[in-house]
Amino acid sequence: MAITRRGARAHRASATTRSQLLVAAVVAALVAVLLGTAVAQAAGDDGTGAAEPSSPLLLTPPFAQGTVTTTKGTETTSPAPGRLVVGEVQPGGSYTAALATAPVADVDVTHSLVLHHVDASNPGLYEQTQARVQPDGDRYGLTVLVRHSGHVALRVDRVSGGQYTVLSRTGKVAVLAEDAPLLVQVRVVGSSPVVLQARVWRMGAERPDWQVTVRDEDPERLQAPGAVALQGYLSRKAEPLRLTLADVSVAGFGQEGAAAGGGAVAEPATAPNGSSGGAPATGPTTTSPDPATAPSTDPSAGPSVEPSTTPSSSPPPVDPSTEPTSEPASSPSPSASASTGGSQTSPAGFVHPGIMTSASQLAAVRAKVAAGEEPWASAFAKAKGSSWANLSWQPQPVPVVMCGAYNRIDIGCTAETKDAQAAYTMALIYTYTGDERYARKAVEILDAWSGVLQSHSFDTTTYVNGRLQAAWAGSVFPKAAELIRYSDAGWSPDRVQRFEGMLRTAFLPMVRDGWVGGNANWQMSMAEATVNIGIFLDDRSVFDDGVGDWRAQVVSSVYLTSDGAKPVLPAGTSITAGRVDSYWFSPERYVDGLQGETCRDADHMMMGMAAALDVAETAGIQGVDLYREQQRRLVAGLEYNARYLNDPSAPGWVCPAPLKKIGTASNQGWEVGYAHYAGEGVSLPQTQQLVRSLRPRNGTELFMNWSTLTHARS
């Protein structure tokens, strides 16, 4: 059956746009007039001996024609010198404004930001002050993250040699009200180390101390002078947003100040557009630099502006996570471990651990296993006694995974699937027992693959299962890694970063771009992998893409009579109303709960339903209630299909042939969905019967892993 491919999402601004920005900045540098006289020296310094900003470098006037570029139809006007009205930033759109007249190394940049619409539903604006921007895209970025309800956080990152690294980030440091100016000050000075500082505060409030300070001593630190710019990016899930930028100041430091970059520099004599003073007005300073990496592929002078399947060299300030494809979270140091029941919330708003299982859920199961309660004790014994828990397990990574239909071509396919399941099994056993041998083995497997894997091959003739394979392993590897990372296992931060890079380069391009050339089990599995990867990377834009794909596809994978005489057509495919019957494997009629592959076989139907439920479970941990959004549809799918898994001869069967099983996937059951809905008081007699009949022999297969152990409901 020929199915077209939906156009991949546009994830980066074109190289042409970035080149034009560079040219505009250079031209402006030749014709601009330096602003005024030197900035006044500070009345008193902070004891470091660093000189104050001494040479205004701002383009005159700022935001002049030719110095501002936009994407996605975003429109800007400059109604007065030094004032830029962006009205409106479109979802997934961006604006970039060149600020400096010439390359500068040590610089202090301030501006005000006004949002003309702030509410709890807005997924967020990401505005970045960029310094030392190089022609190849290397730069420092200090990002103001405006999240739900106007909560503001900060992040500091570096792109060097095409490598994206998060240096530090904060929790909430301010709250932005509608039409209330927020002042932003960023300072970058020195060379050994490079010191980066940022703070934000409401105009009229007391200026706080620096809310984030980073000393970059890494060999990859940026020491050369470079361009200065402001860039904003609006989440693709947001509503169009109108905002205003104003009160811009760009000031450089003299040689003395540059040489004294070993510490925080002295304060300006006057706080820009606000009262002086040093008492913190909001949150505390963040922790020390916290590297996180996203490999880069497309160096440019200015960040790409659209969340990217293949990370760009200069990620834009991004979606509620932080960077459109990058809010790598290799940072949150694992504090409370899953085994102790502790959890943490990242700057992106994700709960960790939070893929399929939460910290409290893990702690509860650990207690039940220790007490020998059923069915958890038997399920745990099955997991620990399985081959997946063999401490002599040897991972078998390959550089490129190549999978034909039904793995008739199998270059790394089976090995990857098995290694992912082994890593997750080891991680679970460690979580429930504290036995560090299992943690070390899980880390060994994760490190082995992240050190070797580069990509998955996919085409529509030979390596036809490439995307599905990436979806399966891309769902399970993050589940294992999440448990290990947020524990006391001691997974090396540099290996965490490398693992993140693998997820971005080898998995996301296969699962995130919305390809819809498979049946329901493909679509749901790809959505699950995208959601899981987004959470592990702490990248809200990736997570949002996965949730969006789930919402788009689940309505066409399980039928309800309210859909009409025929099922909802799968979005983005060539399937028409005239072809929908064959796409659904020719049922005699459509009834509530019929799944897109029910008439194909039990195994594919089971996988499609299981992946849909897994996404709902994980999203629920993160505060997105997909279970409730599609309760009628999911409950109908569970009950209708469980009826015939329990009794193939039950009345009401609408497929042209009896329900058949082609493998063992149909033995996994739906503990996850049953536990949730039964806990909500929903009657699920057929699903309950099925779930109990499969305990505890349902173990792990593909992406369906030990669900009785993790999700059983007594």
pLDDT (tens digit, 9 = 90+) per residue, 342-373?
Answer: 567 787 889 899 999 998 889 899 999 999 99
Residue (of 138, 142, 63) closest to 109 by Cα position = 142
Cα 663 versus chain centre, distance:
34
Q: How confident is the model at residue 471 (pLDDT cuts 50, 70, 90)?
A: very high
Spell out the CATH class of 338-711.
Answer: mainly alpha
Q: How confident is the model at residue 56 (pLDDT cuts 50, 70, 90)?
A: low
- Kindly tell me if the per-residue pLDDT of 546 is higher than 90: yes
Check residue 343 and give its pLDDT: 63
Listing DSSP states for 165-209 in one string gives: EEEEE-S--EEPPTT--EEEEEEEE-SSSEEEEEEEEETTSBPPP
**Rounded to whole angstroms, how far apart are CA atoms 364 and 385?**
21
Q: pLDDT averaged over the chain?
A: 77
Write out the two tokens for 438: 């299992």
In whole angstroms, how far apart are CA 534 and each of 312, 617, 677?
Answer: 16, 15, 25
The domain covering 21-294 belongs, at the CATH homologous superfamily level, to Exo-inulinase; domain 1 (2.60.120.560)
3-state secondary structure of 109: strand
Residue 135: asked if its preceding bond is cis (omega within 30°), the reply is no
The pLDDT of 521-529, averaged and rounded, is 89
In whole angstroms, how far apart are CA 562 and each of 27, 555, 661?
Answer: 60, 11, 29
**Rounded to whole angstroms, how far apart are CA atoms 510 and 207?**
46
Check residue 275 and give its pLDDT: 30
Question: Could you tell me which residue, 116 or 563, shows the higher pLDDT?
Answer: 563
Tally: H helices and E strands in the chain = 18, 24
Question: Could you tell me which residue, 605 or 297, shows the higher pLDDT?
Answer: 605
The pLDDT of 530-547, averaged and rounded, is 94
Check residue 328 and give its pLDDT: 32
- Kindly tell me if the per-residue pLDDT of 615 is higher than 90: yes
**Rounded to whole angstroms, how far apart are CA atoms 165 and 177?**
30
Angular region, 581: left φ>0, alpha ψ -120 to 50, beta rest = alpha
Give me the phi and psi of 423, to 5 degrees please: -60, -40
The pLDDT of 219-233, averaged and rounded, is 92
pLDDT (tens digit, 9 = 90+) per residue, 300-345?
Answer: 233 333 333 233 333 333 333 333 333 333 333 323 333 434 567 7
DSSP structure class, residue 264: P
The pLDDT of 444-458, averaged and rounded, is 94
Do 229 and 109 form a contact (C-beta atoms < 8 A)? no
Side-chain half-sphere exposure of 276, counting CA atoms within 13 A: 7
User: What are the strands, taking DSSP E only, across 27-150?
Assistant: 53-56, 68-70, 76-80, 83-89, 94-98, 107-115, 125-133, 139-146
Please state whether the predicted TM-score (pTM) of the whole model is above 0.75.
no
Q: Which of 110-119, 208-217, 629-638, 668-677 has the lowest mean pLDDT?
A: 110-119
**Rounded to whole angstroms, how far apart are CA atoms 613 and 711?**
12
The pLDDT of 497-517, averaged and rounded, is 86
pLDDT (tens digit, 9 = 90+) per residue, 76-122?
Answer: 888 887 788 888 888 888 889 888 878 899 999 999 999 887 665 55
DSSP structure class, residue 595: B
The pLDDT of 599-624, averaged and rounded, is 92
Most confident of 265-279, 431-445, 568-582, 697-711: 431-445
- Kindly tell me if the per-residue pLDDT of 578 is higher than 60: yes
| Orientation angle between helical segments 520-537 and 602-621, nearest 10 degrees | 30
**Rounded to whole angstroms, how far apart are CA atoms 656 and 679?**
35
pLDDT (tens digit, 9 = 90+) per residue, 128-160?
Answer: 999 999 988 899 999 998 866 677 888 898 998
Check residue 241 and give its pLDDT: 85
Check residue 123 and give its pLDDT: 54
Strands 455-456 and 400-403: parallel
Q: Give residue limits of the domains in the chain.
A: 21-294, 338-711
Check residue 120 and give its pLDDT: 52
Check residue 314 and give its pLDDT: 36
Residue written as tokens 């693709």? 236
Write out the two tokens for 250: 């760009």
